Every structure is written in C-alpha cells, then in structure tokens.
Amino acid sequence: MAERRLLVLFGSQTGTAQDTAERIGREAKRRHLRCRVEALDSCDVANLIHEPLVVFVCATTGQGDPPDNMKMFWRFLFRKNLPAGSLCQLDYAVLGLGDSSYPKFNFVAKKLHKRLLQLGGNPLLPVALGDDQHDLGPDAVVDPWLVALWDKILALYPLPLGLEIISPDVRLPPKYTLHYLPEDSPHPDSDLLQPTASRAAPCELHPFAAHVVSNQRVTAQSHFQDVRLIEFDIVGSGITFSAGDVVMIQPQNRPEDVQQFCQLLRLEPHRRFVLEPTEPGTSLPPLLPQPCTIQYLVTHYLDISCVPRRSFFELLAYFSTTELEREKLQEFSSAQGQEELYSYCTRPRRTTLEAMWDFPHTTCAIPADYLLDLIPRIRPRAFSIASSMLADPERMQILVAVVWYKTRLSKPRRGLCSTWLASLNPEQGDVRVPLWVKKGGMKFPADPATPVIMIGPGTGVAPFRAAIQERVALGCRGNCLFFGCRHKSKDFYCQTEWEELVTKGLLTLFTAFSRDQEEKVYVQHRIRENGKLVWELLSSGNAHVYLAG
C-alpha cells in the first residue's frame, strides 16, 4: 500500500495562511496521515519531485506579490528550464487566501495552480479562493473545500484496517513538550535578551541588537497623535541600506501584560525549561534559546496582544473545566459561530490576553506544553527607513506614529511595536532593539538628472526623507516633495530640515495643512494647483513619481 504521507506548504505574511496550514496538519493527523507543515522557503523545492501529495496554502500580498516566506520558492518554480513533466507524480491542491477589494485577488494561488499544472502536477480539486471580504471571512470557502479535499485524499489513501478517524472530541498531543529544569541547574552565561549579529548581514534569525541613540517626539504635545523620530546606532552591524529600504523590528510584550499572563496561567516567570518535539522530524522554534525562561518566552515570543483566531478557541475548549465556558468556546470555533466570534474579537480588536481573562477557569487549566500551539509567535514589524547612509553611515532613523485608538472596549487599543518603541528611553541606560534590513519596493532613479516627484502625507514622508538626503549628497537636483499634515504648528515633521534645503535650492516643497483653514486642503489640491510644473517634469524631464501613505 502507498505510504500515507502529506506535505502542507504555506506562504504567509500575516499568519493567516500559516494558521490554516496548521489546521490542515491537525486534520491530517486525525486521519492517521504522516504530515509535515512547513513554510515554502523552508522546504527544499528540488525534493518536490519525490512528494506524492502536497497541499499549498498561499496568501497574496501588496499588488499580487507572493509573501516573503515563499519568494525563493516562487523564483525557482518559474524558472524557464524546468522540464514540462517534472511534477507528473504529484497530486496537489492549492488553497488561496486573499481580499477581493484588491484588483489582483488571490493572484498568487491562481498563478501557482496554473504553473503546477504546466509542470505536470495532478490537481485533486479546483483552486480554492478564500476571501477576507466575505461575511464569514475566508472560512466560508475553506470549510467546504476541506471537506471535499479529505474525501479525495481518503479515496486515494484509505484508512489502514482497524483504524478510524480520530474524533474531534479527542485532544491531539502538543507539538512540543516543555521540560522544566531543576531550580538549581547551572545557568548559561549568555544573556538571552541580547540578539547579536552574526558575521553575515543581520536577518530574522540573527537580528542586530541596535542601541537606541534618541527617541524624540516630533508632534506638538497638544496634538492628538504621538509621532517619534527614533535613531539607532548601527556601528559594527554589517547593515547597509539605501533609500526605499525597510527595517524590520522584532517587538516585545509590555512587562505588565507579561506579569498578568503569568498570573492568569499560574506560571513562574523565572522557571527555566527546554523544549522537546513530540514527533521526530519536527524542528524546534528557531527564535527561542534552549534552555529558556518562561519570562523570555512570554516577553519575546508569544503574541499575547494579537487578536485571537478561530483555532485559538478550538484548542482552548479542550482545557475547559466548566460547561458554560466550554460551550461558548465551542461556539466560537464552530462554522456557525463565526459572526459571533467576529463581533466578540475581530471588530473590537480584543487581544488574546483579554480573551483569556474572559475564560478564567479554562485559562488556569492550560498545560504549559500547549502554549506554543495555542498562541502564535510575535511577528516582526516593517518601517520605512527615514535616513540615508550617505548623510550618516553609522546611524539609522525611523518615523513612527504610535498606534492608539478606541473601540467599544473600555481600554484603548495600542499597537504592540509602536507603543514599545515609544516607551524606550535611551537616557535610562543601554536600550537595544533587535532589527535587520530588507530591500524595499521603492527604487529611486540611478541617473542623477532624472527628477523625482514625491507625495508623502503624514509618516508616509519617511522614505522620501531618506531619498532626499541621499539625492542631495549625490548632487541630484529636481527633488520635488508634496507633504501634507493637519497643522503647520503641530505635525509638520522635519520642517527646519526641509526649509533649509528649499533655501539652498535643493528642494521644491509644496505643503498642505488640511485643518489650518476652514476649507480642508490636501496634497491632491496642491498637485492640481501646480499641475503645470508637474506636467513639465513628467513630459520633458521624464520624472519618476512616488507615493507613500
């Protein structure tokens, strides 16, 4: 009988595709299939020719782009020299997750399905196109598609004699077991909290712990929004960047949230543990040191401030000791309860920690082994770099709007990363932030004679500050910036810097202060007023136009 094994590969930007891939992995285990779930870039693409059965779960980002963790796979798969029948032994299915309000809806999934067909793959089902805009979210498509998928797979790979599908009432084992070390075991010398750069350029697995040099509020105290210009020291990091590049920052949870979480789950923050995979072949989480403390795990790894997904409530229900809590959790994890879950969690942006408060009896019964199955890891955040190496090769700056807003919940919602960054005070000692740089989507013209028109309202001006610094250092003329904000006196970022460049004839600046007069004025009004100049730059100067929000 053919070996019953399944490979589930995902391309995920925000974690939804990964969450869905892990759901498929759990359902495969209930059907006694040997199953691996991996990010597309973690798998050796050349080995696809040996895989009998693969399910691809892919998100689409931006303007029809593949997520970061499948870009290498994507490039390999579209190589012209791949033979037409190279995947003829492969049975596959593609599940796409997208948003129909974007023009290139589920572009990656559609293109992947088509390419696998070209290479001889055999589709088990038509490509599924999950849609965020649907009232029930992507699950409206995913749920029925998975029912059809398991029918197909079990027809090809029937259950072995004497085995039945494991009932949904039975809790599956955790991915890892957590072994506490004796209190008196020796401590390693290394400081867990200091990610260091390897000799190669820093990356997600080896970020550079950059020293925070300054953290300055650039909006007036009376302004509703707190915006920061934060400067990092990158000496010795091996980091290089140019205008348009992006810095990735790995944030951490607030100490008071970490403390609450540990109290709720009755965890001892300073206890040390090692993780062991439950199944052979499962790799350990790469960003967690071994051994590790509970404090480090909760501070740096578990995303206790994210809005929990359906899978969170599904797993939580297994630990419930009271009928009332269990029934509610099961409702939230059922297909019928998705509208209810949306209004409980997604609409008011309720966090995982807050949801745990609402189910106290269940929460204190969660075994520590299941923490990594229950709560996703904290994802890095991307910021446009707002300075140029040509202006200062030892420093990097970012412009950060601190995220803070009200929903129907009594406590205001706070952005995890921006709130953490704003709280850092370099005057209180050596404050460090784990970061690395990624190539951005904006490329500025190589020819210094080509003019650029930059439209950057609010913090959208960040990449243009880097571009202007770079172009001025290279002696490029033809720098035209349209900047918009609410008030000249409250949120006109980098005002002195821009005005100096204007005086020197190195920048043409148009400003729109929307609330400084009765009629609101935005950047588009200034573009229209200066249409003659804009057209001249475009028609005779071949100007490049850039827009950032």
pLDDT digits over 211-265, tens only? 999 999 999 999 999 999 999 999 999 999 999 999 999 999 999 999 999 999 9
CATH topology of domain 5-156: Rossmann fold (3.40.50)
Residue 199 pLDDT: 64
pLDDT in tens, 333-359: 998 899 999 999 999 999 999 999 999
| Average confidence score pLDDT of the chain | 94
| Percent of the chain topping pLDDT 90 | 89
For residues 362 and 199, the model is more confident at 362
Res. 190: pLDDT tops 50: no
Residue 183 pLDDT: 85
Rounded to an integer, the average pLDDT of 276-297 is 93
Rounded to an integer, the average pLDDT of 514-541 is 96
Give bridge partners of residue 385 from the DSSP assignment: 398
Which of 3.40.50.720, 3.30.70.1400, 3.40.640.10, 3.40.50.80 would CATH assign to domain 452-547?
3.40.50.80
CATH topology of domain 255-374: NADPH-cytochrome p450 Reductase; Chain A, domain 3 (1.20.990)
CA terminus-to-terminus distance, the chain: 57
Where in the sequence of the chain do the CATH 3.40.50.80 domains occur? 452-547
**Which two three-digit tokens encode residue 183?**
């209190």
CATH superfamily, domain 208-252+380-438, is Translation factors (2.40.30.10)
- Give the DSSP H/E element, type plus range, for residue 331: helix 323-332
**Polymer length of the chain:** 549
Cα torsion 60, 113, 85, 48: sign: positive
CA-based max dimension of the chain:
84
d(CA 545, CA 464): 11
Helix 139-156 with 16-30: angle, nearest 10 deg: 30
Rounded to an integer, the average pLDDT of 460-472 is 97
Whole-prediction pTM value? 0.92
Res. 198: pLDDT tops 60: no
Where in the sequence of the chain do the CATH 2.40.30.10 domains occur? 208-252+380-438
Res. 192: pLDDT tops 50: no
